[in-house]
Amino acid sequence: MVNAMPGKDRGYRLRWVDVFTDRALAGNPLAVVLQADGLSTTQMQAIARETNLSETTFVLPPEKREHAAKVRIFTPHVELPFAGHPTVGTGWVLLDEGLVSPDATGFTLEEGVGPIPVRVDRSGGAMVLWMTHPTVKFGETIEQRDEMAAALGLSAADLQPDVPIQIVSTGVPFVYVALKDTAAVDRAVSSGEALTRLLDHHGLLPVFLFAAIGGKRCYSRMFGPHSTTQIVEDPATGSASGPLGAFAVRYGLIPRAPQVSIVSEQGTKMGRQSFIQIQLAYSADAEIPERIEVGGSVVPVMTAELSVKN
């Protein structure tokens, strides 16, 4: 129960789903509050603290008639302009609730970074929703390799040689750290104090660490206790997975081709195994992909009514 201010109670339909998984109680959980236009920003933030999930979304009427909905995304501590599992999970809920035609092959969600196209793929056994990322941007490199390894509880020998530690973004920036193998990824520790000391001058961005494990697969984790999200570890980070694909191809960890398909396994160490699909499209001489899509399946977990005093 969230009591934002005195007045009459109003009920909001809430859907709880698991994203980037084909089974309940795995993947990354998401709460979706429907018809949320009666809620203030303060109330939305309070509800996100109440669910205490990495993200909670609020579905609002779109600003443009041709779009499906406007979506606001909150962690327990801050609003985000863009995020992956909230986009995929909210898109699935809109389809399941009949707010988007069940036969739709695609639709557009309005988020803080702008319109985000969502493609619906029903060709396999489970429906997969694909979100299109904004253009990838490669930012500054972080030269303190020994310090980064130590901040993650590792040694410099665990880092993938000849691959920089770099900030990359398609709307939300992350620091990418390539490790040699899955054992190093699993040994890493999420220490807010150590990462704050190292990244204080780089914007306190969340850290995405991974190993390329062959067969166009990555094994990944995301740490953010030092960032504005205050998420110690995230089980599936769609907003980081698009840049992950572009980063892995740029530095030769995944072979480049006109069309590249990658699967990133995340959340396994924390008991929330997730599988995030990444598709990249490259033109002949381009250094960055002309299209980045991230997709996955969604499983419903529960439906509830959220009571808020308006």
Does 225 lie in the same domain as 91? no
CATH number at residue 15: 3.10.310.10
Does 157 lie in the same domain as 261? yes
List 55, 111, 233, 265, catalytic entry: 55
C-alpha–C-alpha distance, residues 276 and 101, integer Å? 25
Listed in sequence order, the residues at least 6 apart from 71 whose beta carbon sits closer than 8 Å to its beta carbon are 57, 58, 59, 60, 86, 87, 90, 109, 110, 111
Does 271 lie in the same domain as 304? no
Residues 231-259: pLDDT tens digits?
Answer: 999 999 999 999 999 999 999 999 999 99
Residue 299 has pLDDT above 90, yes or no: yes
Does 106 lie in the same domain as 182? no
Q: Which domain holds residue 36?
A: 9-110+299-309
Residues 19-59: pLDDT tens digits?
Answer: 999 999 999 999 999 999 999 999 999 999 999 999 999 99
The answer to whether position 115 is within a domain reads no
Residues 143-154: pLDDT tens digits?
Answer: 999 999 999 999
Does 145 lie in the same domain as 282? yes
pTM: 0.95
The answer to whether position 127 is within a domain reads no
Does 249 lie in the same domain as 143? yes
Count how many domains the chain has. Answer: 2
Residue 2 has pLDDT above 80, yes or no: no
Torsion angle in degrees (nearest 10) through CA of 262, 144, 228, 137: -50
Determine whether 305 is an active site residue.
no
Local structure of residue 194 (DSSP, 8 states) = H
